[in-house]
Every structure is written in structure tokens, then in C-alpha cells.
Structure 1
Amino acid sequence: MAQGGSAIRGSRVGAGPMGELDHGIRARRVTVSYWDSLGNETVRHYSADVPEEDIPDVIDAPMSGLPAGRDKNNPPSPLTNTPYKTHLAYVQERRTEEEAERILADALERLRARRGGAATK
């Protein structure tokens, strides 16, 4: 059985402060639109006191993750991802084929000498 009480529990009855009086006075701001290569628009708000050169020309669009610029007709091109390099790829950048063969031959020679010495003991 339902108990008697207020049907609008948790709400205030009567008029209260509204608008700027409730939330404070809004600061002056500048609205800047950015577009990515898919045509998505992202709007950012900056303080009107910020100098124009401090407002970024390119941001990361939150919807697509692509770079977004201020020019709608010429948005920045997407970044190209370079593939992950393996350890072998880095070694091949530092060593020539002849150096690699010489280092391998030296390492094998030391290994054979160590094993040969260990087998005779």
C-alpha cells in the first residue's frame, strides 16, 4: 500500500535563481570551428583574452581521430602510419652485409673455441 507524502519528492517548489545569477557571469569567449578530411566539424571555445597566435591551427578531431584544421576547404591530410620496425630491421640499418658476416664468424669462432675447450676438460 502506498504511503502518503509528496508526489514530487526531491524537487523544489517555487521559483529559484535562474540563468547568470544561478551559474555566474559567463566569460567572453571566441568560437573556432575545425574540419577534418571527412568533413566533420568540431567546435572549440577559447577565452576572448587569449591571443590569436595561442589558438591552435590543428587539433585532433574527437569523432574521427584525424587532424582537423580551420580551413574547411583544405583540411589537413591524415597522418601516415609507419609500420613497426623489428630488431632485425634496426640492425640492418646499422650494419652492412659484410660487417654482419664478419661479426657472425667471430661469434661462431669464439663459441667453437669455448665448446672445444669445455669438452677437453
Structure 2
Amino acid sequence: MNISVVNDNEATSLAETRLGLLVRRALQVREAAAQFEQDWPRQANRPPMPGFAWTELERQLRDLAPDALSPMVRDLVSAVRKEAGPKPPEMVLREILIITATLLDEAFHTKWHEAWAEGTTMS
């Protein structure tokens, strides 16, 4: 089955549209990584850090998160993991720290609970 989407008076296959979206997202990630490296150049002295697995990170974040937020940890870690490859390690670290701070932020818990109770999304 070949589904078409009309875009600027041209018929484009759905596969081509999806490919275009993927390419656009990859370019956004590349630009974000380049901007990060410009803002935060790699340091010459980089002592090694203990290694850990994504599953171990997820397990620890689930344990730290309040019970109501624990289920979202898997999706958050998965999102970071999927886009980690082209990013500088420090950028990935920053994203992990942002997730951690958000999960531990009491104001976020309150806002999330209110939005969930109302059946709305957070803004």
C-alpha cells in the first residue's frame, strides 16, 4: 500500500515524508551538539569516570523518583539513550542531570499531580 501526502502541491509518499522528518531531527541533534561543544569545549584533562549501563541508570533513577513519577523514568532514559550517540559525553551527562533534577523537584511533582488529576497535559 502506498499512501501519499500532498505537500506544496506535490504528492509525496509517506515513507519519504517520514525520512524527511528523521533527517530534520538528525540535523537538529547535530546542530545542538555543535552548539553545546561551542559553549562547553572539551577539557584537555578528562580523568576517567566509572562506567555504568543505561539499565543501571534507569534503575537508580526509578529508585530516587517518587512512586507516581517512577513509570516515566524508562521513557526519559530511553529518549536520552537513543540520541546519545552523536552528542558529546558532557551533553549526555547534562541531560541525565536535568532528568534527575526534574524527578526530584517538589514543584514538578505538584504540577504533574495536578495535571494528571485534571486529565490535561503539563504546559
The interval holding the TM-score normalised by the smaller chain is under 0.3
Higher Rg: 1
More helix by share: 2
More strand by share: 1
Could you tell me the TM-score, scaled by structure 2's length? Answer: 0.25
The answer to which structure, 1 or 2, has the higher relative contact order (CA under 8 A, 6+ apart) is: 2
Could you tell me the TM-score, scaled by structure 1's length? Answer: 0.25
